């Protein structure tokens, strides 16, 4: 199974559409600040979408966070802005909630800077921004999660050049 993890598309679909075409995912997880891109993804109808509300999203039907099970792992997914300001505070506060709720994978966005970090009790995944990157080099980034037949999770940070 292949999962595409994206964030902060901000209504700019060029790079997001390319990431979807490249990965051909079975599931898309969008960490928010979609500004309507969720409707575009759903209209494509190629795979299910899980999405949370970002600080720029006005759709009240979107949740600030989601929790779900994926192949034996419990996932906490949020944009991150309701958990703090920068990466450190977001990760610290999200980890508290994840540990309370039994989640071992934490997915977030908001910072526009990618993170893949495995700790003893959880894994942090931030795909950066697919449309407005802030890290050195300015690559448009996303994460591909491949789940093997043995249910091993393999994370790859991918980028699209300008």
Domains of the chain: 2-160 (3.60.21.10)
Classify strands 123-127 and 105-107 as parallel, antiparallel or unpaired. parallel
Could you tell me the sign of the dihedral formed by the alpha carbons of 124, 130, 132, 134, in that order? positive
The C-alpha atoms of residue 34 and residue 114 are separated, in whole angstroms, by 17
- H helices, E strands: number in the chain: 3, 10
pLDDT at position 154: 97
Identify the three-state secondary structure at position 72. Answer: coil
Residues 6+ apart with CB under 8 A from 98: 74, 76, 104, 106, 122
Digit-coded pLDDT (tens) for 115-145: 999 999 999 999 999 999 988 888 999 999 9
Q: Is the pLDDT of residue 7 over 90?
A: yes
At 37, is the pLDDT very low, low, confident or very high (cuts 50, 70, 90)?
A: confident
Least confident of 6-10, 71-75, 81-85, 145-149: 81-85
Q: Could you tell me if 124 and 117 are in contact, meaning their C-beta atoms sit under 8 angstroms apart?
A: yes
């Amino acid at each position: 199974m292949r999962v595409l993890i994206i964030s902060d598309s901000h209504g700019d679909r060029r790079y997001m559409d390319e990431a979807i075409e490249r990965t051909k995912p079975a599931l898309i997880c969008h960490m928010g600040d979609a500004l309507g891109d969720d409707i575009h993804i759903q209209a494509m109808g190629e795979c299910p979408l899980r999405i949370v509300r970002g600080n720029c999203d006005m759709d009240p039907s979107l949740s600030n966070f989601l929790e779900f099970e994926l192949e034996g792992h419990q996932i906490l997914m949020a944009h991150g802005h309701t958990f703090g300001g920068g990466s450190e505070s977001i990760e610290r506060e999200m980890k508290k909630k994840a540990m309370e709720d039994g989640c071992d994978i934490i997915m977030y966005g908001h910072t526009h800077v990618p993170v893949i970090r495995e700790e003893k009790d959880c894994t942090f995944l931030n795909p950066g921004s697919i449309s407005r990157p802030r890290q050195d080099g300015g690559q448009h980034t996303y994460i591909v999660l491949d789940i093997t037949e043995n249910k091993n999770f393999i994370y790859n940070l991918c980028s699209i050049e300008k």
